[in-house]
Amino acid sequence: MKKLWQKNWNLDKTIEAFETQVDLVLDQKLVKFDILGSMAHAQGLYKIGLLTDEEIKLLKTGFQEIINLNDLKQFVLQFGDEDIHSKIENHLTQTLGEVGKKIHTGRSRNDQVLTAIRLFTKDSLLQIWPATLELIEAFLDFSLKHAGVLMPGYTHMQKAMPSTMGLWAGAFAEGLLDDLALFQTAYTLNDQSPLGSAAGYGVPLFLDRQFVANLLGFGKVQNNSLYCQNSRGKIESVVVAALIAILQEINKFATDLLLFTTSEFRFVEISSELCSGSSIMPQKKNVDVAELLRSKVHLLLGNYSQLVGLSSNLVSGYNRDLQDSKKPLFESLELTCSCLQVAKLLVDSIKINHEQINMAISPELFATHHALNLVKQGVSFREAYQKTAVSYQEKSFSDFSIKDSVHLGGIGNLGLPQLKKQLKNEQKKYQIESDKYQAVISSLLSQKETHEKKD
């Protein structure tokens, strides 16, 4: 395949393989998004009189054909195509003739690839967002259902104070709600249109960047052309940092689950369909899904480190090193999406072993309560502490009630209504954003779309 930059030399095959082989696989995921970017760019060119009515119509049929071929898995990148941007332009030129050669007017592959990546990332984030909300809801439902189930609370992995299954699950819901703040910041930063910044220095044409950004549903135009390129890899790293926060919550949940399902603890059980066995030990039922959930935050940390590293020590502007940022970004988005789905399956399948968990409720968990009872009778805390340290084993804890811990966030007052309200607000925010995105994308894809009149 002829390269877009082809002049009077041919690229050495070993070099071509080195430069493009991994990229060809990754770029396959960008087909739809590169087409969307190209559709909007073409409309922008039409708006400023650089494409005629006839040409924009032709291009639209060309874009639609590629979308159809891609849906049928017949638009497959092959060695020699270099990248998705080249393949699409070459295809348009082959099928439509001269007009195909006009689509690259006023853009560079540098802003083109950035646009496709931002759209791809946005699309993925719009899948991760509701999956996070569903996981939060699952934790909140679990917390409400088991708000009264006592369990030991641990510090230093030693029994500390009475806790509840409700407190335990509610902690993950609240953690994930916090993570949404970081997530939305990353979403907003990614939601900027780099299209029109060209190679990183703009072009001497009257491009209407805002018009094109609106067509693509971007929140704003990324203003400075050079910054568009400088932000490649950096915005990706912010996105992955936000995903890491989510996976940190999932990591802790998975680690607890692994402990609570051991035969020594047996506080809870996980449905058999979610567990696997051993090839040699017939008795085994492993919750290895939780181990694989736990591991993913580490993979993302590696990806984060790749993204920060790849985008550092580069001089301003486009550097080909940035091509390697696609793999860690794409992998992080995909892993987070599947972790959220799997974590929800796990939460929904947890069965509490009440008998076992009751046996774990032992006197030392109430030592602090006895000390505080003395405090209520006027004894100083330090004196009460010393007295209780020698007597707590003999004391009864049958008169203890969860309701005694009524301050907000205590086991008698989990603050679930507030968290539910917060979740509802978050669900609304997501719905608004998702509806906006769906409307913009279907309007762009629609053949009925009327072109804006030329000024």
Please give the positions annotated as active site.
156, 278
Q: How far apart are CA 403 and CA 417, in angstroms?
A: 17
Our finding on whether 322 is near ligand ARG (CB under 6 A) is yes
Our finding on whether 109 is near ligand ARG (CB under 6 A) is yes
Q: For residues 260 and 318, which CB has a smaller minimum distance to ligand ARG in the complex? A: 318
* C-beta of residue 49 within 8 angstroms of C-beta of residue 18: no
Instruction: From 33-41, 54-62, 107-115, 156-164, give the range in contact with ligand ARG by CB under 6 A.
Output: 107-115
Token pair in block for residue 273: 């369909």
Q: Is the dihedral of CA 178, 184, 185, 190 positive or negative?
A: positive
Q: How far apart are CA 99 and CA 452, in angstroms?
A: 19
**Smallest separation (angstroms) from ligand ARG to the CB of 26:** 8
Q: Compose the 206-245 pattern: x for residues touching ligand ARG by CB under 6 A, - for all others.
A: ----------------------------------------
Q: How far apart are CA 395 and CA 393, in angstroms?
A: 6
* C-beta of residue 218 within 8 angstroms of C-beta of residue 192: yes
* C-beta of residue 326 within 8 angstroms of C-beta of residue 26: yes
Residue selected from 23, 34, 89, 249 as contacting ligand ARG according to rule CB under 6 A: 23
**Smallest separation (angstroms) from ligand ARG to the CB of 157:** 46
Our finding on whether 89 is near ligand ARG (CB under 6 A) is no
Residues in 282-321 at the binding interface with ligand ARG, rule: CB under 6 A: 318, 320
Residue selected from 83, 179, 249, 433 as contacting ligand ARG according to rule CB under 6 A: 83
E strand or H helix at 269, and its extent? strand 268-269
Q: For residues 83 and 256, which CB has a smaller minimum distance to ligand ARG in the complex? A: 83
Instruction: From 63-71, 109-117, 272-280, 426-434, give the range in contact with ligand ARG by CB under 6 A.
Output: 109-117
* C-beta of residue 138 within 8 angstroms of C-beta of residue 211: no
Residue selected from 36, 39, 96, 113 as contacting ligand ARG according to rule CB under 6 A: 113
**Smallest separation (angstroms) from ligand ARG to the CB of 149:** 52
Compute CA 273 distance to the chain's CA centroid, rounded to the nearest angstrom: 26
Token pair 């802003």 is found at 111
Token pair 């603890």 is found at 265
Which residues bind to ligand ARG, rule: CB under 6 A? 23, 83, 109-110, 113, 318, 320, 322-323
